[in-house]
Amino acid sequence: MSNKLKPLYVQVADKLADQLKEGTSPLQKPIRDNGQPAFIKPVNAVTGKGYSAMNALNLALKGYEDPRWLSFDAASFAKMPVKEGERGTLISFPKTSDIEAIRTPEGAKIKGEDGKTQTRAVEFEKPQPGTAFLFNAAQLTDPTPLEEFLAKQSEGEKLSPVEKAIKLIADSGAVIVHGGAEAFYDRAKDEIHLPEQSAFENETKYLQAAIHQLIHWSGHESRENRPMEGKFGSADYGKEELRAAIASMLIGAELKIGHNFGQHAAYSGNWVNMLKKQPYEFNKAVTDAQKAASRLLGFGQVREEKKSSVNNLTLTKGEEIAYNNTTYKVLDQKGKTFEMEKADTSEKFKITPKSGVFAKLIDARNNPPAKELEIAETEQRTSKIGR
């Protein structure tokens, strides 16, 4: 079957499985031969915003050293067009709305004073599958120097990667017990167990291990309620370890502290088998990893976001709102009309308070929805996870 006919998660599963067999996946080699992290957060080259977990994995597995990506149209608009002959990389997303031309009752397109066709946002009753092709900065003509882009992205950051990791762990509120030779999560006691920090090669390795166990901690029935069954080395056990490995990569890239999953050898064959024969299980694993990473990364800011959004019934220029797995940015406001942009695709459109999507964005910002919890199947369990 051609890759063009395969769902994105199948394409990514195939690619990751091939790299696992070759021993070159970011799970097995967290550091590249050039000394750089194997997984760097892929971002929009204009907005600097990241992508959902499946898209981020697909983009990262392409192997580019530059983390920046843009669609063909966005690259042209940014005056760094795609080089001739380059091929894009697929991403997918749930489309909740689309842009259509405004027409007269007779069907003719209505144009503004500038001669351009006027458009409006149309909201779908149910999310529709959407796809786009992105191009890496290495495929673009004269992109902004990466050093300049990264420097701008780091402006205003008050904490170092290590300090961010320490804060994330503290903000989680997880109970961490130090001592012994193993790092694991005890689900029965809801405790993380770690060796003393002095037992690790350095502070970064200790923090990476703690974050990995925090992923397991997030799956407790009082939090994400993930299935965490099976004995050490089993297929079911391996599924939870894959979730933790992916989420650790996502968090490590976000904090710029990296990841180091030392137990990959115990699971890689298990993972390859699942990726090839049950790619939908991989799709679920990536979804769960995204939830876990979002939960932990959001602990330190949820209260402030909720507090600042109370009774705010309009949009503000520059703010960004997460809704239906897409980030919407308010680019500008003219009267009652707001110019918007979707971060994943750089798609621009306009809305007013009368637009259906306007009210939903306000509600999504003021009342972040509770995460859906998955019901675990009743099977043989082990209370020790992530050894």
Q: Which of 160-174, 215-229, 235-249, 319-333 has the lowest mean pLDDT?
A: 319-333
In this prediction, what percent of the chain has a pLDDT beyond 70? 88
d(CA 154, CA 48): 11
- What local confidence, expressed as pLDDT, does residue 19 receive? 93
For tokens 């992508």, the residue is 51
CA 292 to each of CA 186, 225, 263: distance values in angstroms, whole numbers, following the listed order: 17, 11, 20
Residue 213 in this model has a pLDDT that exceeds 90 = yes
Kind and range of the H or E element at 184? strand 184-186
**Helices and strands, counts by H and E, the chain:** 11, 12
192 C-beta neighbours (distance < 10 Å), count: 25
d(CA 54, CA 283): 8
For tokens 């990959």, the residue is 264
Mean pLDDT score across all residues of the chain: 84
387 CB-near residues (< 8 Å, 6+ apart): 182, 183, 184, 232, 263
CA 98 to each of CA 75, 341, 350: distance values in angstroms, whole numbers, following the listed order: 20, 12, 11
- List 68's β-bridge partners, or say none: 43
- What local confidence, expressed as pLDDT, does residue 264 receive? 67
d(CA 16, CA 28): 11
d(CA 168, CA 176): 13
- What local confidence, expressed as pLDDT, does residue 29 receive? 81
Closest CA to 251 of 200, 289, 194, 206: 289
What is the Cβ-side half-sphere exposure of residue 139, based on CA atoms within 13 angstroms? 23
d(CA 385, CA 130): 36
Please state the φ and ψ torsions of residue 349, each to the nearest 5 degrees: -160, 170
The pLDDT tens digits for 252-305 are 999 999 998 776 677 888 899 999 999 999 999 999 999 999 999 987 554 344
Output the six-digit token pair for 143: 């992109």
Closest CA to 261 of 94, 28, 101, 31: 28
Answering whether pTM is above 0.75, one says no
Q: Which of 7-21, 194-208, 252-266 has the lowest mean pLDDT?
A: 252-266
DSSP letter at 159 equals S
- What local confidence, expressed as pLDDT, does residue 124 receive? 77
For tokens 């003509």, the residue is 141
d(CA 329, CA 320): 4
d(CA 290, CA 286): 6
Kind and range of the H or E element at 177? strand 176-178
Output the six-digit token pair for 283: 């799709």
For tokens 């397991």, the residue is 216
**383/146: higher pLDDT:** 146
- What local confidence, expressed as pLDDT, does residue 231 receive? 67
